[in-house]
């Protein structure tokens, strides 16, 4: 039985000054189908979606939607056709209620010409109820977590009678449990005949929820296949344009038990987030922290880095008790920190690649307050080459680089300091598979050179690939530890689930 097409984009061309972003791309989606759109950063995914949704105007080609040709000039025109987009950065107003967000900009009026709030509340409850979400819709949106906010965005999308919903990195800020709730919603949309274009860098998600995948490379169609006909290595090969090799750290049984201890944290408490947790980190080890969102992983890392202070507990660094009053103290000891939100806490967007790489190193390459330009240029050029940072020039503004290259600049910032430990909080979030593989390779190189890595990741497969040891956390406690060959996704999830059961028995589970 053939696919009944809802969307056909034929020969789409889009030019920008000096750049041909889309070069005759064909893209089709069937009714009630979950269709992945894949490609490295810069492959043309966003340009194609923006062309479909009226944000950009195509230069050549045709768009046929639901049996007729369309040419939306604005996002509102696309919405009227039945095309709705949910972006990674949610376009919602947190201080307004759930129901007000659902009807933002299209509030219904009653017969007296006033906003019909009763209808808005009833309709919002029905739309969210159909998606399996039962919350107080009169409460401000900010009282709910990211997962509920994501569902409100989806509810808003389908409440305008959408025939096609585009989800652009919708899972990037959700934990494993919340992703499954979202997938249940996607299955309900599919059952109603609503098509979904699903954009994600997480390959496991693509294979779980999607039926077809279209891959773009350098603005061209690289491939379109059924998920049943492809595996992860083949998909990566389509995306990077060459044969992909399986990235797997060579590891046997846990071999670092006799390695010298680099750092230890004992009985760390901090508010409600950290509850007497202790961990240790060996020299040359990749230690993973696993757990659901809110488990305290980032808070623990920030205590180690001196960015926040614990209420109780002790940090031991190279066998000596230390008190890092600020990151300046930990940096001096040889600790670097690549933060989870690189745009807010990591990169300095209005500075160049060169300045972002060397900003922490300036005191070491300065004399009497004057920076040695020669040393600065030598270091920057070395790390651009070593980390394969794609930039036209060291003087390029970092905000103009792709997410993967921004992340490499942050890594370069710390590696050029010759650190003993680098903390990496979600090091590959929101970056494409090519850059992800390069960063994971770099993590392995750091460990082989004796540099310890503390790795926080919501991608269990990433922890399995890279870590010598994984500590599983929940509610600021250490639930258990996995080593070497015992590290796998199922074992991590089972540890979380088993511990949750124990906490429930003790009456200590606060969801």
Provide the strand spans (E) within 180-309.
195-199, 212-217, 220-226, 261-270, 274-282, 286-290
Cα–Cα dist 203/121, whole Å: 37
**Do residues 453 and 482 make contact, with C-beta atoms less than 8 angstroms apart?**
no
Residues in contact with 373: Cβ distance below 8 Å, sequence separation at least 6, in sequence order: none
Cα–Cα dist 209/207, whole Å: 6
**Do residues 263 and 304 make contact, with C-beta atoms less than 8 angstroms apart?**
yes
Among 16-25, 106-115, 197-206, 360-369, the range scoring the smallest mean pLDDT is 360-369
The predicted pLDDT at position 68 comes to 93
**What is the mean pLDDT of the segment spanning 30-48?**
88
Distances (CA, A) of 261 to 257, 258, 286, 452: 9, 9, 13, 10
Asked if the model's pLDDT at residue 175 lies above 80, the reply is no
Local structure of 86: helix, strand or coil: strand
Cα–Cα dist 111/121, whole Å: 17
Provide the strand spans (E) within 17-118.
19-30, 34-38, 60-65, 68-70, 83-86
Cα–Cα dist 473/464, whole Å: 16
Q: What is the DSSP letter of 148?
A: H
The predicted pLDDT at position 22 comes to 92
Asked if the model's pLDDT at residue 487 lies above 60, the reply is yes
Asked if the model's pLDDT at residue 248 lies above 60, the reply is no
Asked if the model's pLDDT at residue 312 lies above 60, the reply is yes
Give residue 9's pLDDT band: very low, low, confident or very high (50, 70, 90). Answer: very high
The predicted pLDDT at position 460 comes to 83
pLDDT per residue over 49-69, tens digit each? 999 999 999 999 999 999 999
The predicted pLDDT at position 346 comes to 66
**Do residues 440 and 462 make contact, with C-beta atoms less than 8 angstroms apart?**
yes
Provide the strand spans (E) within 369-496.
370-371, 421-425, 452-456, 469-474, 477-483
> Of all helices (H) and strands (E), which one includes residue 469?
strand 469-474
The predicted pLDDT at position 431 comes to 72
Measured from the Cβ of residue 407, the count of other Cβ atoms closer than 10 Å reads 29
pLDDT per residue over 424-444, tens digit each? 888 887 676 777 777 888 888
- Report CA dihedral (467, 274, 305, 330) to the nearest 10 degrees: -110
The predicted pLDDT at position 504 comes to 46
Domains of the chain plus CATH, in order, are 5-240 (3.40.50.300), 251-334+420-511 (3.40.50.300), 342-418 (no CATH)
The rounded percent of the chain whose pLDDT value lies above 70 is: 90
pLDDT per residue over 68-105, tens digit each? 999 999 988 998 899 988 875 567 888 999 999 988 87
Asked if the model's pLDDT at residue 509 lies above 50, the reply is no
Both tokens of 373, joined, read 């330009």
The predicted pLDDT at position 454 comes to 96
Average pLDDT, the chain: 84
DSSP letters for 88-99 = SS----TTSBHH
Could you identify the residue written with the tokens 């509610």? Answer: 475
**What is the mean pLDDT of the segment spanning 255-282?**
90
**What is the mean pLDDT of the segment spanning 322-343?**
85
Q: Any alpha helices (H) in 353-415, and if so which ranges?
A: 353-358, 373-386, 403-415
**Do residues 36 and 206 make contact, with C-beta atoms less than 8 angstroms apart?**
yes
pLDDT per residue over 157-172, tens digit each? 878 778 999 998 877 7
Asked if the model's pLDDT at residue 278 lies above 90, the reply is yes
User: pLDDT higher for 179 or 296?
Assistant: 296
Among 170-179, 339-348, 413-422, 468-477, the range scoring the smallest mean pLDDT is 339-348
Give residue 508's pLDDT band: very low, low, confident or very high (50, 70, 90). Answer: very low
The rounded percent of the chain whose pLDDT value lies above 90 is: 37
pLDDT per residue over 383-424, tens digit each? 888 877 888 888 888 888 777 788 888 888 888 888 899 998
Both tokens of 397, joined, read 């503004």
**What is the mean pLDDT of the segment spanning 130-155?**
85
Measured from the Cβ of residue 451, the count of other Cβ atoms closer than 10 Å reads 23
Both tokens of 318, joined, read 């190279």
The predicted pLDDT at position 30 comes to 94
Asked if the model's pLDDT at residue 11 lies above 90, the reply is yes
**What is the mean pLDDT of the segment spanning 199-224?**
89
Task: Enumerate the β-bridge partners of residue 274.
Answer: 270
**What is the mean pLDDT of the segment spanning 473-478?**
88
Give residue 242's pLDDT band: very low, low, confident or very high (50, 70, 90). Answer: low
């Amino acid at each position: 039985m053939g696919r009944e097409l809802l969307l056909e984009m034929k020969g789409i061309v889009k030019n920008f000054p000096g750049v041909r972003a889309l070069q005759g791309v064909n893209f089709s989606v069937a009714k009630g189908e979950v269709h992945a759109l894949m490609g490295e950063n810069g492959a043309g995914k966003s340009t194609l979606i923006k062309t479909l949704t009226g944000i950009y105007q195509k230069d050549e080609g045709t768009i046929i939607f639901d049996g007729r040709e369309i040419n939306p000039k604005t996002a509102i025109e696309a919405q009227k056709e039945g095309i709705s987009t949910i972006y990674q950065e949610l376009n919602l107003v947190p201080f307004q209620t759930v129901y007000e967000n659902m009807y933002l900009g299209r509030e219904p009026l009653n017969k007296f010409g006033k906003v019909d709030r009763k209808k808005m509340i009833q309709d919002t409850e029905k739309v969210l109820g159909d998606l399996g979400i039962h919350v107080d819709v009169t409460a401000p949106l900010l009282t709910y977590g990211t997962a509920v906010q994501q569902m409100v965005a989806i509810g808003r999308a389908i409440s305008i009678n959408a025939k096609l919903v585009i989800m652009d990195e919708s899972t990037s800020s959700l934990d494993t449990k919340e992703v499954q709730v979202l997938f249940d919603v996607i299955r309900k949309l599919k059952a109603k005949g609503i098509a979904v274009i699903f954009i994600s860098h997480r390959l496991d998600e693509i294979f779980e929820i999607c039926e077809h995948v279209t891959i773009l490379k350098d603005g061209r169609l690289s491939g379109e296949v059924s998920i049943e006909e492809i595996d992860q290595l083949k998909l990566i090969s389509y995306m990077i344009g060459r044969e992909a090799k399986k990235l797997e750290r060579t590891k046997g049984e846990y071999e670092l038990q006799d390695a010298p201890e680099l750092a230890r944290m004992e009985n760390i408490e901090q508010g409600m987030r950290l509850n007497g947790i202790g961990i240790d980190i060996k020299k040359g080890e990749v230690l993973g922290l696993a757990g659901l969102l809110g488990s305290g992983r980032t808070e623990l890392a920030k205590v180690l880095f001196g960015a926040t202070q614990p209420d109780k507990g002790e940090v031991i660094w190279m066998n000596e008790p230390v008190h890092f009053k600020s990151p300046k103290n930990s940096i001096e000891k040889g600790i670097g920190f690549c933060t989870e939100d690189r745009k807010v806490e990591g990169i300095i967007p209005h500075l160049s690649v060169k300045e972002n790489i060397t900003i922490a190193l300036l005191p070491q390459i300065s004399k009497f307050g004057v920076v040695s330009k020669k040393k600065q240029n030598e270091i920057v050029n070395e790390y651009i080459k070593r980390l394969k940072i794609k930039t036209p020039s060291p003087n390029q503004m970092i905000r103009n680089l792709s997410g993967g290259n921004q992340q490499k600049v942050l890594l370069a910032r710390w590696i050029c300091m010759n650190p003993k430990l680098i903390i990496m909080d979600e090091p590959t979030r929101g970056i494409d598979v090519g850059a992800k593989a390069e960063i994971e390779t770099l993590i392995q190189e750091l460990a082989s050179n004796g540099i310890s890595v503390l790795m926080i990741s919501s991608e269990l497969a990433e922890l399995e690939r890279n870590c010598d040891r994984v500590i599983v956390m929940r509610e600021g406690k250490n639930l258990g530890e996995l080593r070497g060959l015992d590290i796998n996704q199922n074992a991590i999830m089972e540890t979380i689930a088993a511990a949750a059961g124990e906490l429930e028995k003790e009456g200590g589970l606060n969801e």
